[in-house]
Every structure is written in structure tokens, then in C-alpha cells.
A and B are shown apart, each in its own frame.
Chain A
């Protein structure tokens, strides 16, 4: 039986933003990175819900930071991709690339 995990659209987007940011990313930079790269604003609540699902699947891990005054004394929650998460994204990329290559309607578009 395959041990692959299905990644939804937002989950994949969040994983990619997390990987772009490197280690110890938290909600605000992840949300900003998605907005910067895709031009779409994603609610922080949706980002955290996706991160929670990714953590349940073992694709990301998290740890708590120190509380700061700018955050009303609330701690940040830092996330990082696990090795399994990295492997899943790589495999999903390969699968999507194969699918893309076979779509005639997309041929001839600007690369």
C-alpha cells in the first residue's frame, strides 16, 4: 500500500511558501510570501488550518517561540518542513510535471 499523503491546493501552497522561507517561519511571513508570489491574500486562519493539517500528516513540525510586546505578549509558533514533507512535495512536483507535459492545450504558451 502507498504511504503517500494527498496534498490539497492550499496545503501545497503553504508547504512551498514554508520551503521558500527556510527554517522557522511563522504565520505572518508565510501569508505574506503567498501573497507576494501568487498575488492573492490568504487569511491567516486558513494558513494555520492548513499548517495544522500538514502537521497531522507529519509533513511539518512546529515549536513555540518567545512572547513579544508587539504581539500583545503572545508567542509565535514556528513551523518547518520535515524530511517527509520535503519528499512529498518533490514527488508531487514530479507527478504534476508529468501531467502538465501531456496537456496539448498548454503547449505553445509562454514558458
Chain B
């Protein structure tokens, strides 16, 4: 007889990336169908569809989490920054050191600059949305710092590829800040429902 146990990874993703309100009922429905002979492929399709629907719903409800970082990243004057004598001299001091120290200092300088912008933007967002909790703020900011460091390392390494400089100024150098801000904004407000929560009725 065919095992009714669902694919482990699919079940794990289902428990974490679907809407909390319906998670238990949806997981139960999928297991019920699975126990009646549905295939692994069917289970995976259902999980991917549920996650996609949830992501689109989140995006519709929390559009500000994407739009605000886009605005912040678009207004950061990267070209002016890279032509600023003080910033360049500061960066050059680090870059002129021996490898890999130069690489690490370069990433640290870029990340520190972006972290300052991210901190101001994130603080403005939590104050405006009245969702400030010191612990979740610190966790979100720490995760964002990690994203900035890894992202800047990636962009620094990608400079070895001969790509147009403007692509770096207008797109690539802005990506770590964008993703860091999106993730941190989502983390500080993920427990706050953007719409009225509808509780289950208690059975009589």
C-alpha cells in the first residue's frame, strides 16, 4: 500500500509559508486527500499554489513593504557618493590595504553607509506604523545587516565581471539595501495583521 506520508520538504514549507489563519485546515485537507491516494506531485503542486497565493496576498496587503524600500533606494545618490572626495578617500584607505583586508574593509564601509540609511528608514517605518517592539526591531536590523554584508560582498565580487558602471550605480549597489529593508520591514510587522482579524466561531 502506498504511504500516506507527504513529502517532508513540502510539508515543512506548508507549515511555514502559508497563511496562519488557514494553515491547520489546509494542511489537514491536504493530508486527507493524500490519504485517499493523491500523488507526491499533486501534494507539491498544492503546496506551491498555496505559497504563491499567500505571497501575492501578502504583497497586496503589505505593498508598502516593497514600495517604501523602492523609494528609499531610488533616492540614495550613489553616483554623487562615488564621486565624493571624502567618501572616496575614506574608501581608498581601506582598499589600498593588502588582500583580503582591503576586500573586507570595502564591504564594511559600504555596509556601514547602507546600514545608517536602513536604520533611519526602518525607524521611520516602525514609528509611522506604530509597530515598535525593541526585540523584533533588533532582530530585524541584525538580519538586515547580514543581508547588507552578504549582498555587498556579492556585488564587490561581481565587479570582476565586465558590466557597465551605470548598472552598478543604478541597480546592483542598491539591491542589498532594497532586500535588507524589505526583509526587516516585513519582520517588524509580520505579527501585525494589516486587516481586521476574523476569529473562528467557537462551536456551541
Contacts and interface: CB of A to CB of B under 8 A. Distances in A.
Interface of A: 26-28, 31, 43-46, 48-49, 51-52, 55-56, 61-65, 67-68, 70-72, 74-77
A49 B21 CA distance: 10
A62 B54 contact: no
Contact of B201 (A51, A63, A71): A63
Interface of B: 18-19, 21-22, 24-33, 35, 45-47, 49-54, 57, 195-196, 198, 200-203
Given A43-B46, A56-B198, A64-B203, A49 B28 contact: no
Residue picked from A49, A55, A63, most chain B C-beta under 10 Å: A49
A71 B29 CA distance: 7
Given A44-B26, A76-B28, 17 more contacts: A27-B25, A27-B29, A43-B46, A43-B53, A44-B33, A44-B49, A45-B50, A48-B25, A49-B22, A62-B201, A63-B201, A64-B201, A65-B203, A68-B28, A70-B32, A71-B27, A74-B28
Contact of A43 (B19, B49, B203): B49
B53 A77 contact: no
A44 B50 contact: yes
Given A28-B29, A49-B57, A64-B203, A70 B35 contact: yes
A44 B19 contact: no
B22 A48 contact: yes
Given A62-B201, A77-B200, A27 B195 contact: no
B24 A74 contact: yes
Given A27-B25, A74-B31, A63 B19 contact: no
Contact of A75 (B21, B24, B35, B196): B24
Contacts of B54: 45, 49
B170 to A, nearest CB: 36
Contacts of A51: 22
A56 B199 CA distance: 11
A44 B30 contact: yes
Given A45-B53, A56-B196, A70-B32, A61 B201 contact: yes
A72 B53 contact: no
Contacts of A67: 28
Contacts of B22: 48-49, 51-52, 77
A28 B51 contact: no
B31 A70 contact: yes
A58 to B, nearest CB: 9
Given A71-B32, A72-B28, A45 B18 contact: yes
B31 A72 contact: yes
A48 to B, nearest CB: 4
